[in-house]
Chain A
Amino acid sequence: MMHGQVDHEEDRTLLAAIAIGDRGAFQQFYSRHAGRVLGYVRQLTRNPALAEDITQEAFVAVWLKAASYQADRGDPAGWLFTITRNKLVDKWRRGDRDAETDGAPILAGLADPPNPIDVRVSLRQAMSHLTDDQRRMLEMAYYGGLTYEETADALRVPVGTLKSRMRAALGQLRVILEGST
């Protein structure tokens, strides 16, 4: 599969159609992304039934939220990532024990993807420019299901310190991402 400008354009067109209730466009969007959404959620939950539930919730949300997607909100993949994470975090919040994960094996798995993939912006590449501390915090925010308080607790730093370090890491990540376009 190709990842690039054209890819995002097609997704944008599909989302615009979904926003006005086009079920065909919805099914196309689903077949383009659902496999990877399910794959991602499965890595985080390791419970196939639950992973399917979360994927279902995520795509119902795609149906409802397509009208709020605007092209200047970034690429549709990032938007879909946010929606998927919403549904995961909701499950974690509700105290669904099966949805819990210790995080480490996931990080290990993702730190070394099986196939080198042509993504315009590689997160791994971007993260290699960060300090270890900054990387760990961003990894927790993107991969884990933790709140700031829980993250601060896990890293044994005060919440205020975490937030200011996160801000610095985010600033750097933004510079790197901007430099890569």
Chain B
Amino acid sequence: MAAGAKYHPSQELLLEFATGGGDRPRRALIEAHLAHCADCRSDLGRVARPGGALLAAVDDAPLPPALLDRIVQRIDSMPALPPQPADGIDLPPGVLAELVSMKPLRWRSPALRGSRIATLFHDDHSGAVLHLGWMPGGRVFPPHRHAGAEEVVVLAGGYTDGPKHVETGDWVVTEPGASHSPTTDPGEDCWILTRLDAPIRFTGWRGWLQRAALLFSSITRR
């Protein structure tokens, strides 16, 4: 594991996280970064502290006796942590905690070969999606454009994206409308967690194929 991440979520995102905001994919992404970043853990501890003090200052409400029973009943059917959903990578506990009662992953190969991606979950309210992605070392992911923002946390391995080289724990943002073509570090599998605001669109011939497939499915669905 790298000594520490080079790229971090903004202070605004940490504050949003500390005060319970952000959709589930964003929270899971922050958890993934925190697992690798002592600096952000301590920053988060600081911004959450007023919240802890606030909670400590609230008067106790009388607890209905049945409440604990209900909670214990719920957790009795739950392991302390859900099982890892994929072979080859251990998701940090904070991410796993979001994966209760998940169906087996369905892997897809959006770039046709050399990479795999699976949806972990959708946030119905925000529309954002959290994906788990894998690519072998020394490969180029085909150029593609993001309609919405993309946020990535590198779980293992590393890659080069334009002028940036990122490694385990790094938080990488691709602005809406930007195109890129990351290249994974040689000799090492690369695993990423990705939060997407909107579906990605391939450029070049893959984009043409993707649009054709979309058109085809929209015609056949009628």
Contacts and interface: CB of A to CB of B under 8 A. Distances in A.
Interface of A: 3, 18-21, 23, 26-27, 30, 33-40, 42-43, 51-52, 55-56, 59-61, 63-68, 70, 72-89, 93-94, 110, 113-115, 117, 119-123, 126-127, 138, 141-143, 147-148, 163, 166-167, 170, 173-174, 177-178
Interface stretch (B50-58, B148-156, B164-172, B187-195): B50-58
7 contacts: A73-B45, A74-B52, A79-B48, A81-B51, A82-B18, A88-B20, A110-B57
Interface string B26-62: 0100010011001001101111111111111111111
A35 B63 contact: yes
Contact of A36 (B20, B45, B58): B58
Nearest to A40: B58
Given A35-B62, A40-B54, A60-B74, A68 B48 contact: no
Interface of B: 11-12, 15-21, 23, 27, 31, 34-35, 38, 41-42, 44-64, 67-68, 70-72, 74-75, 78-82, 92-94, 96-97, 100, 125
Contacts of B50: 78, 121, 123, 126-127, 138, 142, 173, 177
Nearest to A65: B97
A142 B16 CA distance: 9
Contacts of B79: 21
B142 to A, nearest CB: 34
A89 B21 contact: yes
A115 B68 CA distance: 27
A152 B78 CA distance: 40
B61 A121 contact: no
A39 to B, nearest CB: 4
A19 B61 contact: no
B53 A141 contact: no
Contacts of B21: 85, 89, 141, 147
B4 to A, nearest CB: 12
B39 to A, nearest CB: 10
B64 A94 contact: no
A135 to B, nearest CB: 12
A15 to B, nearest CB: 11
Contacts of B58: 36, 39-40, 43
A35 B60 contact: yes
Given A21-B79, A38-B61, A72-B42, A55 B48 contact: no
A77 B53 contact: yes
